[in-house]
Amino acid sequence: MAVRTISREELKGKLDRGEGVVVVETLGPAYYEDAHLPGAINIPHTEVDALAPGLLPDKAAQVVVYCSNRACQNSPQATRKLETLGYGNVYDYEEGKQDWIEAGLPTESGAAA
């Protein structure tokens, strides 16, 4: 099954419009704490089965997952796991955090709430 992708422009547009997108960083906590997209939650790709039901209760929500860059396979793996768990609206921001930062867009730092 092909992973649906979303571009930086599409993601930024959804966030700017307040569309209620849930943004998920699939890297480990240390990377997340260093810098993550504004409002993102942290679900490492190895912990999707354990964490997604509690952190993503609405399986119909728009979910955008990302990792560090296109070479990183965490986000496509997480996307497929979420789809297997019944999430129907999942997109992979393939270019990831590196692309976001290189475009000069803001990030947040610190541990998950």
pLDDT along the chain (113 residues), means of 10: 90 96 97 96 97 97 97 96 97 97 96 73
Residue 92 token pair:
């992979």
- The order of strands in the sheet holding 41-42 is 41-42, 22-25, 63-66, 90-92
- pTM: predicted TM-score of the whole model, two decimal places: 0.96
Distance CA 64, CA 79 (A): 9
What's residue 101's pLDDT? 97
What's residue 1's pLDDT? 61
What's residue 90's pLDDT? 97
Whether domain 8-102 has CATH 3.40.250.10: the reply is: yes
- Which has the closest alpha carbon to 25: 16, 38, 9, 12? 38
